[in-house]
Amino acid sequence: MHDYWIEFSKVALAHALGVASPGPDFAIVVKQSLTHGRRTAIWTSIGIGLANMLQVSYSLLGLGLLLKSSALWFDIVKYAGAVYIAWLGVQALRARPREAAMRANGHAAPVPSTHGAFATGFLTNMLNPKATLFFISVFLLVVSPQTPKLIQAGYGLWMTIVTVGWFSFVAVCFTRDEVRRNFLRHGHWIDRALGVVFLGFAASLVVATVR
């Protein structure tokens, strides 16, 4: 049991470093927080967490190795992810000043439904092959093949909870009143900056290769 705790600590550290590093997941939660508010951002975070759970399941079942060993399947996921993230980037680049948008539309931009926010987070993570390869690498390099699947599933549950917790914390930070007030004045520039970030992530996916 002591060895499992050591192994778990390595898994937890690797995951903490991975989830805290800037990436498409972080960018979409920030965008949802600033544009649509805390509830939307938290549901987006939950979507990211469930996608993480499925990534872990693939790793436990060995299905993730298909993505790692097959250039064709890797390219399918890679290009699908690049197109989706690039679409998010284009939508962000088209952002207009909040006052102008409200005058043109007669009301503020519609807030996504719970399902829509959840799907945005889920697809952002699920269509990122780099996230898949991260989980495969963790389970191949850190977790012993002799570790029971139930304990490995516990590692996966921990990573899912931490993922949702971390991005929910990000959502809370970026929906504080003072942050939201500043965003309402300059939000379209932040949206456009995030659009450039999304396009950069999409480009990095296009050139990504299986390692």
Predicted TM-score (pTM) above 0.75: no
Contact in structure between 24 and 124 (CB atoms under 8 Å): yes
Residue 120 has pLDDT above 90, yes or no: yes
Note the pLDDT of residue 160: 92
Instruction: Decide if 76 is inside a domain.
Output: yes
- Better-scored residue on pLDDT, 192 or 146: 146
Instruction: Decide if 6 is inside a domain.
Output: no
The domain total for the chain is 1
pLDDT in tens, 134-167: 777 777 778 887 888 888 889 989 999 999 999 9
Instruction: Decide if 14 is inside a domain.
Output: no
Find the distance separating the first CA and the last CA of the chain, reported in whole Å: 32
Q: Return mean pLDDT, the chain.
A: 79
Alpha helices in the chain (DSSP H): 2-20, 24-36, 38-61, 64-69, 71-93, 98-105, 114-126, 129-141, 149-174, 177-206
Q: Which domain holds residue 81?
A: 26-32+39-206
- Better-scored residue on pLDDT, 149 or 198: 149
Percent of the residues in the chain that have a pLDDT greater than 90, as a whole number: 20
CA-CA distance, 200 to 202, in Å (whole number)? 5
pLDDT in tens, 75-111: 777 777 778 778 777 877 776 665 444 444 444 557 7
Residue 59 has pLDDT above 80, yes or no: no
Instruction: Decide if 74 is inside a domain.
Output: yes
- Averaged pLDDT, 179-188: 64
Note the pLDDT of residue 171: 93
Instruction: Decide if 150 is inside a domain.
Output: yes
Instruction: Decide if 72 is inside a domain.
Output: yes
Task: List Cα–Cα distances, 132 to 120, 124, 129, in angstroms.
Answer: 17, 12, 5
Instruction: Decide if 87 is inside a domain.
Output: yes
Instruction: Decide if 114 is inside a domain.
Output: yes
Note the pLDDT of residue 14: 85
